[in-house]
Structure 1
Amino acid sequence: MTTGRGTEDRAAERTARRVGGIEVRPVAGHIGAEITGVDLAEGLDDDAVAVVRQAVLRWKVVFFRGQRLDHAGHVALARRFGEPVVLGRRGSVSPPDFPEVETTADRLELGGRFGMEHDEWLQRRRHTLLRGWHCDHGARVDPPAATVLRAETVPPYGGDTTWSNLAAAYAGLSAPVRAFVDGLRAEHRLGVGYQPRPGDDSYLRHLLDHQVASVHPLVRVHPETGERVLFVNGYYVEQIVGVSRPESAALLEMLLEQAVRPEYTVRFRWEPGSVAFWDNRATIHLAPSDNAHLDFPRVMHRVMLTGDVPVGVDGTPSQPLVGTRPGHW
Structure 2
Amino acid sequence: MTTVAETPTGTLLISPVAGHIGAEISNIDLRNELSDEQVAQLQAALYEYKVLFFRNQEIGHAEHIAFSRRFGAVTPSHPYDDDAPTEFPEILAVDSRLYEKRFGVRKFSYTNQWHTDVSALINPPAASLLRAEIAPERGGDTQWTNLAAAYANLPESLKSFLDGLYAEHRFGGKRPIWDADSDYAKKVAKAPLVTEHPVVRVHPVTGERVLFVNPGFTTRIVGLSPRQSDALLELLFAEISAPSYTVRFRWEKGSLAFWDNRATAHLAPSDLDHLDVTRVLYRTTLEGDVPVGVDGQESRAISGERFTGTSN
Q: Normalising to structure 1: TM-score of the pair?
A: 0.87
2:81 — aligned with what? Answer: 90
Q: CA deviation at 1:158?
A: 0.3
CA contact (8 A) 2:75 2:309 kept: no
Among 10, 21, 40, which residue is 1:31 paired with?
21
Q: CA deviation at 1:192?
A: 1.8
Which amino acid is 2:81 matched to? R
Q: CA deviation at 1:30?
A: 0.1
Which amino acid is 1:118 matched to? R
CA contact (8 A) 1:308 1:326 kept: no
Is 1:154 the counterpart of 2:125? The answer is no
Which amino acid is 2:4 matched to? R
Q: 1:323 to 1:22 in 2, by over 3 A?
A: same
CA contact (8 A) 1:148 1:278 kept: yes
Q: CA deviation at 1:68?
A: 1.1
Q: CA deviation at 1:205?
A: 3.9
2:106 — aligned with what? Answer: 118
1:8 — aligned with what? Answer: none
Q: Please tell me whether Structure 1 or Structure 2 has the larger radius of gyration of its CA atoms.
A: 1
Provide, for residues 275-314 of structure 1, a one-character-per-residue CA deviation record: whole Å limited to 9, x for no partner: 1000000000001111232222111010100000000001
Is 1:207 the counterpart of 2:188? The answer is yes
Which amino acid is 1:109 matched to? L
- The aligned runs of 1:144-183 (5 Å cut-off) are 144-183=125-164
Mapped to 1, the partners of 2:179 and 2:31 lie a distance apart of: 49
Q: CA deviation at 1:198?
A: 9.9
1:45 — aligned with what? Answer: 35
Among 199, 219, 230, which residue is 2:211 paired with?
230
CA contact (8 A) 1:309 1:326 kept: no
Q: Residue 284 of structure 2 aligns to a residue in which SS?
A: strand
Q: Residue 311 of structure 1 aligns to a residue in which SS?
A: coil
Q: CA deviation at 1:233?
A: 0.3
Q: CA deviation at 1:196?
A: 8.8
Q: 1:328 to 1:99 in 2, by over 3 A?
A: closer
Q: 1:113 to 1:225 in 2, by over 3 A?
A: closer
Mapped to 2, the partners of 1:89 and 1:180 lie a distance apart of: 35
Mapped to 1, the partners of 2:150 and 2:178 lie a distance apart of: 35
1:17 — aligned with what? Answer: 3
1:101 — aligned with what? Answer: 91
Mapped to 2, the partners of 1:229 and 1:17 lie a distance apart of: 26
Which amino acid is 1:73 matched to? E
Q: Residue 48 of structure 2 aligns to a residue in which SS?
A: helix
Provide, for residues 198-230 of structure 1, a one-character-per-residue CA deviation record: whole Å limited to 9, x for no partner: 996765444321210000000000000000000
Mapped to 2, the partners of 1:81 and 1:47 lie a distance apart of: 12
Give unpaired runs (5+ residues) of structure 1: 1-14
How many percent identity over aligned positions?
47
By percentage of residues, which structure has more helix? 1
1:216 — aligned with what? Answer: 197
1:9 — aligned with what? Answer: none
Q: Normalising to structure 2: TM-score of the pair?
A: 0.91
Provide, for residues 171-200 of structure 1, a one-character-per-residue CA deviation record: whole Å limited to 9, x for no partner: 010110011101100010112222699996
Among 58, 66, 69, which residue is 2:56 paired with?
66
1:133 — aligned with what? Answer: 114
Provide, for residues 37-91 of structure 1, a one-character-per-residue CA deviation record: whole Å limited to 9, x for no partner: 1111112101111111111000000101011111110000001000000145434
Q: CA deviation at 1:109?
A: 3.3
1:11 — aligned with what? Answer: none
Provide, for residues 84-120 of structure 1, a one-character-per-residue CA deviation record: whole Å limited to 9, x for no partner: 001454343x322111111111x64344356x3325x
Mapped to 2, the partners of 1:109 and 1:58 lie a distance apart of: 35
Count of residue pairs the alignment pairs up: 305
Q: 1:34 to 1:183 in 2, by over 3 A?
A: same
